[in-house]
Amino acid sequence: MSKEVSRLLMGYEDFKKIIYSSGLKNEENEKIILDIMPKIDGLLNKILEIEKEISKLKIDFERIKKRDLQPLDNINLSTLEVNDALLNLTNTEIEVLTIIEENGEASVSEIKKRINKTREHTARLLKKLYDKGYIDRNSSRMPYRYYVRKELKDKIKRKPNIKASI
């Protein structure tokens, strides 16, 4: 519970004590007080419910944030980490990255012809590279056009045979 809500609750409790201890005889004042107190109770309960919901949402947010990191978060911009990221790729994946970089962008069918794999295999390969954050896709038209992320472009340009240089 937040400090503000704690202060509100304490103030409300003090208010109730003062009202009940004052021994008001005036029926009008008592009626006003009896009208106000349930409203204050209701507001405080709503505030407490909202705070509980906010706490749950914070926990959910942190869990989702950890689970659904953007693919690029796995690849830091430092040369060493880019090298490590590229080291985990197969020769075919590196070949695909090189082909895409040479052309600027490429479709599944263009890549398929160059690597001599089936369309399905090539599509799965591209999806894997996309999910890992190595490539992005231009989905504004069909078929999708894939391009290498800028963080990896220089590395691929400088080292045509990435696997051998790592």
- Give the CATH number, domain containing residue 122: 1.10.10.10
Q: Please choose, from the candidates 114, 100, 113, 110, the residue with its C-alpha nearest in 3D space to the C-alpha of residue 146.
A: 100
Q: How many domains, the chain?
A: 2
Across the chain, which distance is largest between two alpha carbons, in Å? 95
Q: Do residues 109 and 41 both lie within one domain?
A: no
Looking at residue 164, its pLDDT comes to 46
Rounded to whole angstroms, the Cα distance separating 69 from 66 reads 6
Predicted confidence (pLDDT) per residue in 7-55, tens digit: 777 877 777 777 667 666 667 667 777 788 788 888 888 888 888 888 8
92 and 19 in a single domain? The answer is no
Share of the chain above pLDDT 70, in %: 71
**The pTM of the whole model exceeds 0.85:** no
> 3-state DSSP call for residue 130?
helix
What is the extent of the structural domain holding 9?
A: 3-67
Q: Are residues 32 and 61 in the same domain?
A: yes
Q: What is the rounded distance in angstroms from the CA atom of residue 90 to the CA atom of residue 154?
A: 19
Structure tokens at 129: 């590279």
SS3 79: helix
Statement to judge: residues 28 and 82 lie in one domain: no
Question: Do 41 and 58 sit in the same domain of this protein?
Answer: yes
Q: Looking at the structure, tell me whether residues 20 and 62 fall in a common domain.
A: yes
- pLDDT tops 70 at residue 88: yes
